[in-house]
């Protein structure tokens, strides 16, 4: 079971060069040891392909054996880790933040010291490279076995799916087809333009929304290029809030797991906390970066976070957008209801999120200012920035680690209070 996810992000050919990627591969290979398996996969983008090849050569130069998945979604790669007896997983994909960046994710059971000095083995100890293809079938069989397929089939769902994958191998539509769904697939191309961000952006959401209502589909679905993030659109063309989706999943899963723990980040809505506590469970709020790693230690039955990332320990401890889609179909079939009706059962509070420019040296002062203002009055959580829980409201200030800004999240059960808190927070930060 993966305990650590280390994320490296940078501009292709400058910050993340082939030399850097090869060196990184050697370091990971040194850590796992000679003849140990490392699974490597990527998304559909050309820069990812280039960087993956450099990482692969580095792993082999360190004596590690590489299991080459080629183009594959992260949840599918992660699920097959144990089958291939992999000591680590490395995935490469286009960044969600900037089109010139790539994200390198390293999944492992132990944190890998990435500052180590790389050492290559002798020519006769170079690792092997093995191409595999059956991993998709393993994942598909497992996911269909995990849910009530007959119940889903009986509903004959009509879906719109926006996901970019190999046009010759439509993997996710094949799973939906075996669940008796009729699926209209859009966005399936062999590559992406440099300016096309690999995430459910407003342009894509608008297209899915319009098509879903135009053809009378039951639901629209948008998956990112890694398939570890998903956005749901109801049959009216409305995007379902991510915090509401968290609530739907938590409510359904806790029916069979009363008193269970749920893990989410410090961003979590008051609504989610009410759902979890209402069944006798506990909502564990972690830093944004630690949601996944806190699932196992807390024996959680469910976890998730914005933006559209959900983990189902019943299946695997990985953010899995594909399984989230199938699970949502199961809930709709079991409850004999639309996703719109399911969302209507979850309380949605007034909520806003925005950023404010802030010099790095002022970030600590901002946190200290909010601590001083609220420490004797309200519940404060400093696991990731500072969250101040007020009566029927909360304020969250999260300084960015890399950019000169702070991120602010405010939620209130009153629209007037939300506006008041927003103005107050802005004034406090501006006066620091």
Could you read off the pLDDT of 261-272 as tens digits, one per residue? 999 999 999 999
Residue 378 pLDDT: 67
Residue 194 pLDDT: 38
Q: Which residues pair with 8 in a beta bridge?
A: 104
Chain centroid to Cα 306, Å, comes to 8
Token couple for 75: 């949840």
CA proximity to 22, closest of 120, 129, 108: 120
Distance CA 98, CA 355 (A): 17
CA proximity to 360, closest of 397, 396, 403: 403
Q: Count CB neighbours of 120 within 10 A.
A: 16
Average pLDDT estimate for 27-34: 96
Mean pLDDT value across the chain: 91
The confidence band for 372, taking pLDDT boundaries of 50, 70 and 90, is: confident
The confidence band for 202, taking pLDDT boundaries of 50, 70 and 90, is: confident
The confidence band for 195, taking pLDDT boundaries of 50, 70 and 90, is: very low
**287 pLDDT more than 60:** yes
Least confident of 15-19, 200-204, 232-236, 303-307: 200-204
For the CA atoms of 114, 120, 126, 130, what is the dihedral angle to 10 degrees? 20
Residue 199 pLDDT: 58
**191 pLDDT more than 60:** no
CA proximity to 392, closest of 413, 415, 410: 413
Chain centroid to Cα 398, Å, comes to 19
Average pLDDT estimate for 134-155: 95
The confidence band for 410, taking pLDDT boundaries of 50, 70 and 90, is: very high
Span 47-79, pLDDT tens digits: 999 999 999 999 999 999 999 998 999 999 999
Average pLDDT estimate for 316-320: 94
Q: Give start and end residues of each alpha helix (H) in 216-293.
A: 242-256, 270-278
**11 pLDDT more than 90:** yes
């Amino acid at each position: 079971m993966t305990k650590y996810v280390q994320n490296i992000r940078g501009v292709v050919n400058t910050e993340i060069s082939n030399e850097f990627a090869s060196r990184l591969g050697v370091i990971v290979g040194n850590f796992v040891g000679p003849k140990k398996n490392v699974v490597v996969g990527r998304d559909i983008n050309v820069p990812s392909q280039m960087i993956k090849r450099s990482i692969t050569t580095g792993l082999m130069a360190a004596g590690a054996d590489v299991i080459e998945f080629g183009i594959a979604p992260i949840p599918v790669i992660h699920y097959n880790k144990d089958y291939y007896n992999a000591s680590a997983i490395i995935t490469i994909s286009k960044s969600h933040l900037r089109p010139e960046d790539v994200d390198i994710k390293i999944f492992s059971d132990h944190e890998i010291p990435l500052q180590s000095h790389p050492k290559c083995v002798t020519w006769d100890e170079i690792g092997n490279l093995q191409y595999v293809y059956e991993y998709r079938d393993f994942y598909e069989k497992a996911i269909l076995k995990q849910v009530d397929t007959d119940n889903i089939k009986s509903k004959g769902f009509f879906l719109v799916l926006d996901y970019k994958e190999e046009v010759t191998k439509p993997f996710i539509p094949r799973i939906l087809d075996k669940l008796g769904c009729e699926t209209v697939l859009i966005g399936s191309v062999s590559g992406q333009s440099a300016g096309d961000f690999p995430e459910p952006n407003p342009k894509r959401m608008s297209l899915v929304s319009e098509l879903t209502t135009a053809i009378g589909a039951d639901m629209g679905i948008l998956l990112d290029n890694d398939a570890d993030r998903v956005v749901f659109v109801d049959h009216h063309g409305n995007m379902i809030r991510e915090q509401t989706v968290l609530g739907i999943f938590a409510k359904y899963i806790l029916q069979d797991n009363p008193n269970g723990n749920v893990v989410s980040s410090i961003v979590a809505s008051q609504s989610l906390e009410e759902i979890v506590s209402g069944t006798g469970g506990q909502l564990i709020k972690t830093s944004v970066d630690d949601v996944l790693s806190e699932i196992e230690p807390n024996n959680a039955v469910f976890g998730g976070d914005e933006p559209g990332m959900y983990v189902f320990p019943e299946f695997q401890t990985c953010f899995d957008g594909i399984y989230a889609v199938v699970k949502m179909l199961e809930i709709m079939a079991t409850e004999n209801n639309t996703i719109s009706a399911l969302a209507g059962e979850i309380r949605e509070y007034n909520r806003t999120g925005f950023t404010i420019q802030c010099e790095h040296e002022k970030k600590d002062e901002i946190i200290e200012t909010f601590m001083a203002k609220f420490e004797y009055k309200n519940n404060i959580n400093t696991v990731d920035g500072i969250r101040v829980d007020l009566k029927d409201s909360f304020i969250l200030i999260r300084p960015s680690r890399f950019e000169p800004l702070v991120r602010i999240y405010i939620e209130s059960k009153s629209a007037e209070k939300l506006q008041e808190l927003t103005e107050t927070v802005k004034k406090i930060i501006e006066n620091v």
